[in-house]
Chain A
Amino acid sequence: MTLKDVSVSEILRPEDGGSSPGLAEAAQIRYLSPDDTEFTLTEGHMLNVKAGGKEHVGVYVHCSFPHTNKRIYLSIRTVENEEIGMIRSLDEFPEETQRMLEEQVELRYFAPEISKVLSVKEEFGYSYWDAETTSGYCRFTVRGGGGSVKLMTASRLLIVDVDGNRFIIPHLDRLSDKEYKMVEVCM
């Protein structure tokens, strides 16, 4: 069964903000609090973190919900994918740390947003895209036949090209008719 049709609110339920004590005890997730955690940025743009008196260098910030909310339930992990701890919400942290972590999230989850679809040509089971994105003008090739163009939420479209680069159309409903028609063929 897929969960793709379950609405975001059903997954997140931000209003309850916690979990039942039984689950929490079994899961033993370590949440980082601003009091005992210190993030620093190296000159080489890598993130170091000092948590509970222990220093970790070159850590990465993983999002639990990269498509629906990048600011909550962030996991701080080493390059070997060991979790150092989780952050419930960026809002708990001072502004400077927020900026630093947001920058790291942007580094890890790279998917330029498509601001204008210039052309989509479909041929031989592949589609060739020309688009203006937040990262500049991009041309890319997408494999047809499902899997490469996915609706992540009702109106957010994820496009993965043949190399593994990712592009996002954040609001399908805000595309012009002409753009929508071109994109629709690939969905």
Chain B
Amino acid sequence: MNLNFTLPERELEAVSQAVGEHIRYCVPVDLTLGGQRTEGYFVIGEQKWALLLEGRVVDSRLITDAKEYKVVPLIGSAVLEGDEAGTKFILTRLSMKHAARYGYIAQILNDMSRQRTIRIYNDEEEPVCASCGGSLIPGTRVCPKCMNKAAAFKRLVSVAMNHKKTFAIGLAVTLAASAISMAGPYFQKLLVNSSLQPPPGQSPSVPVFIWAILGLLFVLVGGEGLGIIKGRIMAGVSSQIAADLRKLVYERIQSLSLGFLTTQRAGDIMNRVTSDTDRIRNLVQELFTTAVFQLIILVSASVLLFSADWRLACVVLLPAPLVAYIQRYIWKGVLWKLFRKQWRVYDKANSFLHDVLSGIRVVKAFGKEEREVKRFKQYNAEFAAATIQTEKVFSILSPISNYLIQMGQYLVLLIGCNMILGKQMSLGELVQFSGYAGMIYGPIAWLMFMPRWLSNAIISVDRIFSVIDEQPEVMDSEASVKHSIQGTITFRNVIFGYKSYEPVLKEINVEIKPGEMIGLVGHSGSGKSTLINLVSRFYDVNEGEILIDGVDIRRIEQAHLRSQIGVVLQETFLFSGTILDNIRYSKPEATYEEVLEAARIANAHDFILRLPDGYDTRLEENGGNLSGGERQRLAIARAVLNDPRILILDEATASLDIDTESAIQEALQRVTRNRTTLAIAHRLSTLRHADRLIVLDKGEIAEIGTHAELVAKRGIYYNLITAQRNMSKKAEAVG
């Protein structure tokens, strides 16, 4: 992210008077305190900061005068706030566009005010386009204004080149098909001139008549036949290309780090794999079946028209663009908008219906049936009105648009018949001519619509390649080794934040011995889950290091590392498939016996055998046919099957009732024996078997020790545990 914008010349002078020659950071300001858009800069020098609006320094102070600088996000804007001896003040106001940038600035100001080293790992993406400064499409690095369509297209071509043979065949077939189509009007002329109305001086000829009829038949059958072949080839090729792209995207998504994936919405990623690739398939198919064909027809028909009679050709071609434009306007400007409106009203009525029907118990409980009927009536009427309007307009415009297309033909007949009367043209020639003229309007109208879908498809191409080009943040290096874990985990001066201006973990130093069970305790947001994410190396630390048996985890192969770590989360996710498949997920080659043992350890064996289908029970979506406790036990079995040396339990039993929890507790106790275990739990009783407890507070280790030690200390842990006891006592008293 850019934290050092270049100041314009005239402003540089004003600033250097305020903060000194050396400017360390400089970021734009786009809002005045009163909420007017403005152009200005917030500048940080060696000792002072300054606020520049419209070229004038309006405020400047010593950085050390205040502390606790922070960005306070408000609704639709944010302010940078400071605290000067207990009095808060606003340094500047900013639009949301710069909120993240000022997060860094606040952090820098804090570090400078406490005279610490500035800890900014400025690797966050700049969310604006580097060349035009406009907003990017979120989740991609695509700037819709500057996107280089040609470059994207080239990438697509390089993928398509894997199928160049099939392409060549398809193209040849397309050429042949268009040549055959072009022969149609010629045979029509032959037919007319040979038998229907021979030109003066010629007598009807039966052989020519037969040839012409056969020719027409050939055009009909051959054209259709080649059309089918062409369609088949292109459908095959385009699906292949789409499949290639899907594979590329999917492979890349799987290899990307959690960091990237969590910043993307699952739906967005789904879209890239499915609809974007499908749009590309459509592009390829359309381009090579329809587009090429239409272009060939357009060009060759025009050439033939001009060579037949250039005056007539002009009459046909001149109005063509106008006709095509009117066509486009009718469809895009009028009909399309109407349809969209109709869909919107339909959507609204639909979601209302969905809403009320799924909440029907609430409606009945509050006796509001009549009110809901009234509201539905309103939606229903709106929808009916919108439909009627669309249909009305459509019924008028649709025939008009059809007539427009045939207008050229009408002109040809008008002039052509005149020419026949003047003996300048034969009937056959006129038939041939109007045949070619009729071929021109289709392609022109089609071409008018092409730019829109072409550019939409190109955006898809770019969105796909933006994923394919994405580099994982966590990567194996060449020096990565396979390491068989013994179980010592050491945190040495670890500092980490998802956004580096907001450290979530600060200076974590701790050594966990092999086989030890560690309970992680703290308020939500204290950094517990982040700590275990780092052990699995879903993210790399910003500073310091994490060692496993003395080896930096950045030097251990990721796949090898994770295969030795078992994870049980609060939200268990089970895939559709059998119970056996799900337990085996962590070790697909596990024997039946191993699976049974893992299930037994996890206290799952008994309930599985009670099921009519045993281990072969097919799970519905995310194990919908099992209870929460059963799902959790399967997750534990899955985690231990691999005999992991390190076990991570993130709120593994939080969502379960007390009875189920104690069953699982028993299982866990068995599981955690001889394994290094990191367990997070809000219900502190869950952690009573832990060897040591680490209490995290605002990203720092506040307390560390055994249960007894921490209780004796009467600190945060003691407070937490008394609070929970009181809660449960109250609950018991009430119950």
- Residues of chain A having any CB pair with chain B under 8 Å: 1-2, 5, 42-46, 57-58, 60, 66, 79, 106-112, 123-124, 126, 128, 133-141, 143, 161-166, 181, 184-185, 187
A141-B134, A164-B96 are contacts. A107–B74 as well, Cβ < 8 Å?
Answer: yes
A137-B37, A162-B138 are contacts. A1–B356 as well, Cβ < 8 Å?
Answer: yes
Rounded to whole angstroms, the CA-CA distance of A162 and B136 in the bound complex is: 9
Interface residue from B37, B81, B95 paired with A46 (Cβ < 8 Å): B81
The answer to whether A108 touches B75 (Cβ under 8 A) is yes
> Which of the 9-residue segments B84-92, B574-582, B671-679 touches chain A?
B84-92
Ranked 7 nearest A-B pairs via Cβ: A44-B89, A58-B88, A136-B37, A166-B76, A164-B96, A110-B77, A110-B76
Known: A112-B35, A163-B97, A163-B99. 6 other contacts (CB 8 A): A43-B87, A57-B88, A58-B81, A136-B36, A143-B138, A187-B344
Min Cβ gap B385→A in Å is 15
The 17 sampled A-B contact pairs (Cβ below 8 Å) are: A42-B89, A44-B82, A44-B87, A44-B91, A57-B86, A58-B88, A60-B72, A110-B31, A110-B35, A112-B35, A124-B137, A124-B144, A133-B37, A138-B37, A163-B127, A164-B99, A185-B340
A137 — which chain B residues lie within 8 A by C-beta? 37
Rounded to whole angstroms, the CA-CA distance of A110 and B96 in the bound complex is: 10
* Chain A, Cβ-Cβ closest to B375: A5
The answer to whether A44 touches B35 (Cβ under 8 A) is no
Min Cβ gap A56→B in Å is 11
Is B355 part of the contact surface with A, judged by Cβ < 8 Å? Answer: yes
B86 — which chain A residues lie within 8 A by C-beta? 57
The answer to whether A163 touches B87 (Cβ under 8 A) is no
Min Cβ gap B87→A in Å is 6
A110 — which chain B residues lie within 8 A by C-beta? 31, 35, 74-77
Rounded to whole angstroms, the CA-CA distance of A136 and B35 in the bound complex is: 9
A106 — which chain B residues lie within 8 A by C-beta? 35
B76 — which chain A residues lie within 8 A by C-beta? 109-111, 164-166
Min Cβ gap A66→B in Å is 7
Min Cβ gap A134→B in Å is 8
A166 — which chain B residues lie within 8 A by C-beta? 75-76
The answer to whether A163 touches B96 (Cβ under 8 A) is yes
B87 — which chain A residues lie within 8 A by C-beta? 42-44, 46, 57
**Is the interface on chain B under 10, 10 to 19, 20 to 34, or 35 or more residues?**
35 or more
Rounded to whole angstroms, the CA-CA distance of A111 and B97 in the bound complex is: 14
Min Cβ gap A108→B in Å is 5
A110-B35, A184-B341 are contacts. A66–B96 as well, Cβ < 8 Å?
Answer: no
A1-B359, A42-B88 are contacts. A124–B77 as well, Cβ < 8 Å?
Answer: no
Is B50 part of the contact surface with A, judged by Cβ < 8 Å? Answer: no
The answer to whether A185 touches B337 (Cβ under 8 A) is yes
Rounded to whole angstroms, the CA-CA distance of A1 and B96 in the bound complex is: 30
B455 — which chain A residues lie within 8 A by C-beta? 123-124
Rounded to whole angstroms, the CA-CA distance of A46 and B341 in the bound complex is: 46
Rounded to whole angstroms, the CA-CA distance of A136 and B37 in the bound complex is: 6
Is B420 part of the contact surface with A, judged by Cβ < 8 Å? Answer: no
B437-468 interface (Cβ within 8 A of A): 455-456, 459
The answer to whether A162 touches B81 (Cβ under 8 A) is no
Rounded to whole angstroms, the CA-CA distance of A143 and B135 in the bound complex is: 11
Is B362 part of the contact surface with A, judged by Cβ < 8 Å? Answer: yes
Interface residue from B77, B90, B144 paired with A123 (Cβ < 8 Å): B144
Rounded to whole angstroms, the CA-CA distance of A126 and B135 in the bound complex is: 11
Rounded to whole angstroms, the CA-CA distance of A111 and B135 in the bound complex is: 19
Min Cβ gap A78→B in Å is 11
Taking each of A44, A111, A141, which has the highest tally of chain B beta carbons within 10 Å of its own beta carbon? A44
**Beta-carbon contacts of B70-112 to A below 8 Å, as 1s and 0s?**
0010111101011110111111010111010000000000000
A57-B87, A124-B144, A164-B96 are contacts. A45–B74 as well, Cβ < 8 Å?
Answer: no
Min Cβ gap B274→A in Å is 15
B31 — which chain A residues lie within 8 A by C-beta? 110, 135
Rounded to whole angstroms, the CA-CA distance of A20 and B91 in the bound complex is: 45
B354-386 interface (Cβ within 8 A of A): 355-356, 359, 362, 375
Min Cβ gap B455→A in Å is 8
**Beta-carbon contacts of B201-222 to A below 8 Å, as 1s and 0s?**
0000000000000000000000
B90 — which chain A residues lie within 8 A by C-beta? 44-46
* Chain A, Cβ-Cβ closest to B355: A1
A46 — which chain B residues lie within 8 A by C-beta? 81, 87-90
A140 — which chain B residues lie within 8 A by C-beta? 135
Interface residue from A79, A107, A162 paired with B135 (Cβ < 8 Å): A162
Is B33 part of the contact surface with A, judged by Cβ < 8 Å? Answer: yes
Rounded to whole angstroms, the CA-CA distance of A126 and B147 in the bound complex is: 14
* Chain A, Cβ-Cβ closest to B32: A135
Rounded to whole angstroms, the CA-CA distance of A133 and B77 in the bound complex is: 15
Rounded to whole angstroms, the CA-CA distance of A79 and B144 in the bound complex is: 38
B305-330 interface (Cβ within 8 A of A): none
Rounded to whole angstroms, the CA-CA distance of A161 and B99 in the bound complex is: 14
B144 — which chain A residues lie within 8 A by C-beta? 123-124, 126, 128
The answer to whether A44 touches B88 (Cβ under 8 A) is yes
A45-B33, A136-B37 are contacts. A165–B77 as well, Cβ < 8 Å?
Answer: yes
* Chain B, Cβ-Cβ closest to A66: B75
The answer to whether A163 touches B135 (Cβ under 8 A) is yes
The answer to whether A165 touches B37 (Cβ under 8 A) is no
* Chain B, Cβ-Cβ closest to A168: B76
The answer to whether A2 touches B355 (Cβ under 8 A) is yes
B19-40 interface (Cβ within 8 A of A): 31, 33, 35-38
Rounded to whole angstroms, the CA-CA distance of A112 and B81 in the bound complex is: 22
**Beta-carbon contacts of B46-89 to A below 8 Å, as 1s and 0s?**
00000000000000000000000000101111010111101111
A107 — which chain B residues lie within 8 A by C-beta? 33, 35, 74, 77, 79, 93
B359 — which chain A residues lie within 8 A by C-beta? 1
B75 — which chain A residues lie within 8 A by C-beta? 66, 108-111, 166
The answer to whether A124 touches B456 (Cβ under 8 A) is yes
Rounded to whole angstroms, the CA-CA distance of A134 and B93 in the bound complex is: 16
B97 — which chain A residues lie within 8 A by C-beta? 163, 165
The answer to whether A45 touches B89 (Cβ under 8 A) is yes
The answer to whether A165 touches B95 (Cβ under 8 A) is yes
Rounded to whole angstroms, the CA-CA distance of A126 and B144 in the bound complex is: 9
Rounded to whole angstroms, the CA-CA distance of A163 and B37 in the bound complex is: 16
A134 — which chain B residues lie within 8 A by C-beta? 35
The answer to whether B35 touches A43 (Cβ under 8 A) is no
A141-B135, A165-B96 are contacts. A79–B72 as well, Cβ < 8 Å?
Answer: yes
A163 — which chain B residues lie within 8 A by C-beta? 95-97, 99, 127, 135
Min Cβ gap A180→B in Å is 12
